[in-house]
Chain A
């Protein structure tokens, strides 16, 4: 579709603007920190988010399948799932892509054919949001699972502590 090749050309601008909108979801001191650093390890949050949105964007314009896109969604959401965001805030960054694209293709979408293509793309972005919610829930579940596992390990330790575990083992 034409819209994809158009967007591919505008990739640097789209990513820059999309990234800027995501940074606005952080407190102002933090967003400037996230913006300023380049080193990947020094600033792993920026890296995870940037690589993630770049992957999502590429996936959209190259019409990659869902599995591939999910890897990049995971990159971003895994981080936001443990930060101070409500569930909707954690995944809302998907929708800001729509905003960026509409602004970026302001003129082009006056053409009805192009507008139709845009709607098609937006439907894909919406379905991406569904996957994003799912990934978010999986991340949260993982956290609860980790917590539950730790509790289990402590119970196991408590059994050790009393020597009970050893007795059971010997009896076996």
Chain B
């Protein structure tokens, strides 16, 4: 529970500036800054090592007896397996260009959140055990002994990095701290040092196909519930298919879109768009997760979880896969899927059945991003919109780190938004596109217990939104990521109250003029569209008035 501040504390004002040398001090675990340790059952489910009850706040982390050997062997293996890792350990010239580019550093002011120092946490061990200089000169060469305290420090700070890659954009050598963090976490994982918030979704996804552990009936019944709402809003009955063999396209999206607002409105958007096109597609209740929390534990686990998408595509015999709005799902697909589980030769090169456009970028993975698909439809005039339905919204767009820096999708979502909304405003160029600021909750950090960390990490993003809120009256923050849809609302609540959050396909479906629809008086959130008279209501009113 919250620590109550006593009046004594409040009046006890210290006129002296606190003098702390942050780099010298051992790590202090502050509540609100870290996630709970994973419960053993989650690790057991997927065969991860050292399952046990533990808490990061404990003195004794119950590490395996030979933990040091495990860590050093794991480092050695990775140094020879990944050339990038060795290069990143060797070439940093400490120029400092990356230092102030991390949102966690900007928000917290904690020097160990400078990317260069975060890397130094592991680099100092590398020097000590894997370089001659470090072995001989020790501390003078920036080397240090591997102790349990170092492991604790790794854990604290590698889970204060969202693997967002912003720092790498500014590094003259392209050193990618995200990759270093991934390896750091992978090594910690070998000691059973997993967070509960990541461990749970991984185990769920492994067993049931999605992070929330939803069984097939829960998935279908939730989609049906969204369909009821769509029918109320548009008068149109939609009947999507599930697990249908022989469908042309398999649609995969993060399960977060099916539960929890505002993700659900984005899911309604997909349902409406795909229905309007009459697309021959199917949902799967087995490959029911686009996201991949395995990616935050180890490459091997990510690969195992990712495989189910291809396995399901094969089982259903689809020609290609369409993927919803998600962040790390696309990073995984774009950067790793093909190497791990591809090429998916049993499918065909994706071609839009509506426009005939070939998605050559998806030639090997056979998986197309819905924003590319939709932007292509708009470009070919295949959709009809009434953007005035979004006129009460002043929209800005948050580039998710994963789709922006992980795959370079910048223009498609903007193109869609500009076609379906009349009021679009960009945030500063220091905070968008490849320089975008992270939401502060990515890479599995979107737990509840570390909310302070999330508010700090999201400060630069929140601040950039507040600027456009003040300047242009922005009241809607659009994005193309399910984690964003879950974590940006609380972030806005703190940094820019009054700004709401939505997926891009929610905006699209609000404006989409569908064949046979009734007059729209409500948006996808079942809220009245401003300035639109409800004909029936008028009648009702008249009737009531006449009584």
Listed in ascending order, the chain A residues whose CB lies under 8 Å from chain B are: 21, 24-30, 33-34, 37, 39-45, 47-48, 78-79, 82-84, 86-89, 91-92, 95-96, 99, 129, 133, 137, 139-140, 142-144, 146-147, 149-151, 153-154, 156-157, 160-163, 166, 169
Instruction: Check if A140 sits within 8 Å of B5, measured CB to CB.
Output: yes
Pick the contact of B455: A25, A44, A82 (CB < 8 A): A82
Task: Give the shortest distance, in Å, between A85 (CB) and chain B (any CB).
Answer: 8
Chain A residues closer than 8 Å to B109, beta-carbon distance: 26-27, 30, 34, 45, 83-84
Q: Is the interface of A mostly helix, strand, loop or mixed?
A: helix
Q: Interface readout for B494-537 with A: 1 if CB under 8 Å, 0 if not?
A: 11000000000000000000000000000000000000000000
In angstroms, how far is the closest chain A Cβ from the Cβ of B425?
14
B494 x A146 contact (CB < 8 A): yes
Jot down 11 A-B pairs with beta carbons below 8 A, ordered by A. A41-B467, A42-B100, A78-B494, A96-B15, A133-B10, A143-B32, A143-B452, A146-B451, A146-B490, A146-B494, A161-B218
Interchain CB contact under 8 A, A29 and B111:
yes
Q: Which residues of B contact A47 (CB under 8 A)?
A: 463
Kindly identify, within residues 1 to 54 of chain B, every residue whose CB is under 8 Å from any CB belonging to chain A. Answer: 2, 5, 9-15, 17-18, 20-23, 30, 32
Point out the residue from B225, B428, B460, B493 that lies within 8 Å of A169, measured CB to CB: B225
Q: Which residues of B contact A44 (CB under 8 A)?
A: 106, 459-460, 463-464
> Quick check: A161 and B214 within 8 Å, CB to CB?
yes
B217 in the interface (beta carbon within 8 A): yes
Across the interface, B10 reaches (CB within 8 A) one of A28, A87, A163, namely A87
How long is the Cα–Cα vector from A166 to B32 in the complex, in angstroms? 34
Q: How far is the CA of A150 from the CA of B446 in the complex (A)?
A: 10
Decide: B15 and A140 in contact? CB cutoff 8 A.
no
A93: shortest Cβ distance to chain B, in Å?
10
B212 with A161: CB separation less than 8 A: yes
- A161 contacts across to B, CB distance below 8 A: 212-214, 218, 259
Q: Is the CB of A43 within 8 A of B106?
A: yes
A146 contact set on B, CB distance < 8 A: 451, 455, 490, 493-494
Contact B111 A27 (CB under 8 A): yes
CA distance A42 to B32 in the complex (A): 25
**A48-B463 CB under 8 A given contacts A88-B14, A95-B15, A150-B451:** yes
Please tell me if the beta carbons of A87 and B5 are within 8 angstroms of each other in the complex.
yes
What's the tally of chain B residues with a CB closer than 8 Å to chain A? 56
Task: Say whether chain B's binding surface is mostly helix, strand, loop, or mixed.
Answer: helix
Given the contacts A25-B17, A92-B15, A142-B494, A153 and B225 also touching, CB distance less than 8 Å: no
Partner of B100 from the list A25, A43, A87, A129 (CB cut-off 8 Å) is A43
Is B222 within 8 A of A166, CB to CB?
yes
Inter-chain contacts of A92 with B (CB < 8 A): 13-15
In the assembled complex, the Cα of A43 lies from the Cα of B2 at a distance in Å of: 30
List chain B residues, Cβ under 8 A from A88: 9-14
Q: Taking A27-B111, A33-B100, A87-B9 as given, write out 16 further A-B residue pairs in contact, using a Cβ cutoff of 8 Å, ordered by the A residue number.
A: A25-B18, A29-B23, A29-B111, A30-B109, A41-B464, A45-B106, A45-B459, A47-B463, A79-B459, A88-B11, A92-B15, A95-B13, A147-B448, A160-B222, A161-B214, A161-B218
Q: Which 5 A-B pairs rank lowest in CB-CB distance, beginning with the nearest?
A: A44-B463, A24-B17, A41-B430, A41-B428, A30-B109
- Chain A proximity mask over B215-226: 1 for CB below 8 Å, otherwise 0: 001100110110
B463 lies within 8 A of A163 (CB): no
Bound CA–CA A151/B11 (angstroms): 33
**B431: CB under 8 A from chain A?**
yes
Q: Which listed residue, A79, A83, A144, A160, touches B2 by the CB 8 Å rule?
A: A144
List chain B residues, Cβ under 8 A from A144: 2
- Is B108 close to A, CB under 8 A? yes
The residues of B that contact A137 with a CB separation of less than 8 Å are: 5
In whole angstroms, how far apart are the Cα atoms of A83 and B493 in the complex? 17
Bound Cα distance A96, B14 (Å): 10
Q: How far is the CB of A133 from chain B (nearest CB, A)?
A: 5
Contact assessment for B9 and A27 in the assembled complex, using a CB-CB cutoff below 8 Å = no
In the bound assembly, the distance between CA atoms of A95 and B9 in angstroms comes to 15
